[in-house]
Amino acid sequence: MVVTARQRLIEEFLHEAGLAKTGMVGVTQPRRVAAMTVAKRVAQEMGTQLGEGVGYTIRFEDVTSPNTKVKFLTDGMLLREAMLDPMLKSYSVIILDEAHERTLHTDVLFALIKGIMVKRKDLRLVIMSATLEAEKFAEYFRQFPVDVYYADEKEVQPLYLVDYMDAALLTVLQLHLEKPAGDILLFLTGQEEIEHMTKLLEQKARTFGPEAMKARRSFSRFCSSDVILATNIAETSITIPGIKYVIDTGVVKERMYNAKIGIDSLTVVPVSKAAARQRSGRAGRESAGECYRLYREESFLRFAESQVPEIKRANMASVVLQLKALGIQDVTRFDYMDPPPLDSLKKSIELLTVLGALDSENKLTSPIGRNMAALPLDPLLSKTLIMSEKFGCTEEILIIVAMLSGESIFFVPRGDKKKQAELAHRRFHSIEGDHITLLNIYKAYQQATNKNNFCYESFINSRTIKHIQEVWRQLGDYCRQLGIERKSCGENTETIRRCLTSGFFLKAALAKIHPSSVLFTKKPLCVLYNQLVMTKQKYMREVVVIDQNWLVELAPNFYAKRSVVGSHRQGK
């Protein structure tokens, strides 16, 4: 991973110019990995230990000290800091990096900092953004020329490829066999596609010989690779050296929110023109490069100029809750750079009211609403954690919430060991669903004498579960600060599922369950889900079985006995 000069030098210049004498230089990044990576690089170049002169803060991890002068943090963390320090007095300079990505939190920060600067004449604001004009982009990054090739119109009938995976595989093979040596960067939409493509490439590698082709997931440190598979994180936040060829599938997975039915989902959609240009730009960092777009030029011309800001398409409930905690009562008149849809704001207020975070006058309730705002979690998770004290299962819910807040802990190897991994995972499966399965795994991990051996034998990602353990520890600290008593229900899993229903009743449904769920082959009457994934079909992920009568009992203001789930939630 390479940090660009723009990312690492601006902060150093500001520090050397003395602008950090009266406060910190705060640098926001839209992604955790970027905040951590850039902070480590800048600390090295400034000759200071990470966490001292230079540090970073991301959700559930604070690597700073009273001596920190340059602080990297996610935009969401700066927004949370504004809740405690509305004037951001600890900062003398704030840099909003990758501002063109227009994340939900960055858009809110635009407005907040704009208001703060009216009162704080000493605060300096720097906005860094990738330009949308290719000439300026090339000049700014001293980029080499990149030849762009589109799919043949005779071969591609739709505006962009439906089965782009096959086209991507074919393009990789053609580049490998017919072009001069050079690393290939292939853009895909997520972990599942990356794992599937890795498997396909490894199968082809055996055909060409063991040294003919190597494939890896993006940013792996274990092998030198010809083919790098990445999501859109490689568009801007991370620069990978040695890329000569880029394959652009023309699609990206985005979180979309439907305010009419109150459901958010991960959906594969076409990229914007700006994103397509960013992708092609990855090929020309060190030498002339080539970009192969797996769609027609006509398709590119129909793409939106830039990505729709997250604030226009996301569930606003978390942001509305934070704005209320900041004392902003009328969230519809807040000075957004791009106002979110009014329906989305209304639906968020309705959701928070149903959850008990807002009262009939749309004011933050106490203690539930204020405690929910204090927890760095989605409102449904924070409500569930708060309610766990009443149900007497705080210890179990803490584990489940921490597990849902991290990446997948399962390691599924390819080849001969795949069946062995499936059998190892099956030991923890619960017929009651994925939440109880995750709880079983974490308990077994805690009880293991040799945790590394446990992860190895159980095919569990040790790095991920260690991170989850740290999240669990910090959530426990939040509970202590909020006065939430930690109780355990032991083996009473019905209590756990009832508690989950009290927070996730809005996500009760009958729908297709994702193949990764332990309930995939079952046909439960009623379930709660954590995520809805939109591919060619709708799939629920992280699913737990409940009794539909609990919905009427625990959310009487939302559910009527005659409807519950069957009449209006089926298939959503």
**Secondary structure of 467-525 in the HEC alphabet?**
HHHHHHHHHHHHHHHHCCCCCCCCCCHHHHHHHHHHHHHHHEEECCECCCCCCCCCCCC
In this structure, are 452 and 361 located in the same domain?
Answer: no
Give rounded-to-5 percent helix, strand, coil for the chain.
Answer: 45, 20, 40
- Identify the three-state secondary structure at position 210: coil
Q: What is the pLDDT of residue 358?
A: 96
CB 317 within 8 A of CB 379: yes
In this structure, are 274 and 418 located in the same domain?
Answer: no
Flag whether 497 is in a domain.
yes
Beta bridge partners of 239: 2
| Alpha-carbon span 402 to 464, nearest angstrom | 11
Flag whether 181 is in a domain.
yes
What single string gives the DSSP state of each residue in 32-64?
HHHHHHHHHHHHHHTT--BTTTEEEEETTEEE-
In this structure, are 457 and 399 located in the same domain?
Answer: yes
In this structure, are 81 and 175 located in the same domain?
Answer: no
Angle between helices 451-458 and 462-482 (to 10 degrees): 120
Flag whether 313 is in a domain.
no
| Alpha-carbon span 285 to 283, nearest angstrom | 6
Range of the domain at 363: 324-374
Flag whether 409 is in a domain.
yes
Beta bridge partners of 247: 186, 292
CB proximity list for 204: less than 8 A, separation 6 or greater: 169, 173, 213
Please state whether beta strands 215-217 and 227-230 pair in parallel, antiparallel, or not at all (unpaired).
parallel
Nearest C-alpha neighbor of 311 from the set 110, 107, 111: 107
Nearest C-alpha neighbor of 472 from the set 501, 438, 496: 438
In the listed set 106, 131, 156, which residue is the last one of a domain according to the structure?
Answer: 131
Burial tier of 452 (Cβ tally within 10 Å: 0-12, 13-18, 19+): exposed
CB count within 10 Å of CB 491 equals 8
In this structure, are 193 and 120 located in the same domain?
Answer: no
Please state whether beta strands 70-74 and 289-293 pair in parallel, antiparallel, or not at all (unpaired).
unpaired
Which stretches within 357-461 are classed as H helix?
Answer: 368-374, 379-391, 394-405, 417-426, 434-447, 451-458
In this structure, are 533 and 439 located in the same domain?
Answer: yes
Flag whether 316 is in a domain.
no
Q: What is the pLDDT of residue 177?
A: 83
CB 73 within 8 A of CB 60: no
- Identify the three-state secondary structure at position 527: strand
In this structure, are 420 and 540 located in the same domain?
Answer: yes
Which residue is associated with the tokens 């799919």?
Answer: 151
| Alpha-carbon span 326 to 374, nearest angstrom | 11
The CATH code of the domain that includes 189 is 3.40.50.300
In this structure, are 56 and 150 located in the same domain?
Answer: no
Q: What is the pLDDT of residue 4?
A: 53
Flag whether 319 is in a domain.
no
Tally of structural domains, the chain: 4
Burial tier of 534 (Cβ tally within 10 Å: 0-12, 13-18, 19+): middle
What single string gives the DSSP state of each residue in 269-325?
EEPPHHHHHHHHHGGGSSS-EEEEESB-HHHHHHS-SSPPPHHHHS--HHHHHHHHH
Predicted model pTM = 0.73
In the listed set 99, 131, 163, which residue is the last one of a domain according to the structure?
Answer: 131
In this structure, are 402 and 455 located in the same domain?
Answer: yes
CA 267, chain centre distance (Å): 13
In this structure, are 390 and 497 located in the same domain?
Answer: yes
| Alpha-carbon span 531 to 173, nearest angstrom | 35
Nearest C-alpha neighbor of 394 from the set 403, 405, 384, 404: 384
Q: What is the pLDDT of residue 456?
A: 92
Q: Which two tokens stand for residue 386?
A: 């708060």
In this structure, are 126 and 241 located in the same domain?
Answer: no
Q: Sheet containing 24-29: which strands, arranged edge to edge?
A: 61-63, 54-58, 70-74, 24-29, 91-96, 124-127
| Terminal Cα distance for the chain, rounded | 40
In the listed set 359, 374, 389, which residue is the last one of a domain according to the structure?
Answer: 374
Task: Name the phi and psi angles at 106, rounded to 5.
Answer: -65, -40
Flag whether 566 is in a domain.
no
In this structure, are 405 and 505 located in the same domain?
Answer: yes
What residue ranges of the chain have pLDDT lower than 70? 1-9, 11-12, 15, 130-143, 153-162, 207-225, 237, 261-262, 414-415, 511-512, 524, 535-536, 560-572
Please state whether beta strands 54-58 and 61-63 pair in parallel, antiparallel, or not at all (unpaired).
antiparallel
Q: Residues, the chain, total? A: 572
Flag whether 285 is in a domain.
yes
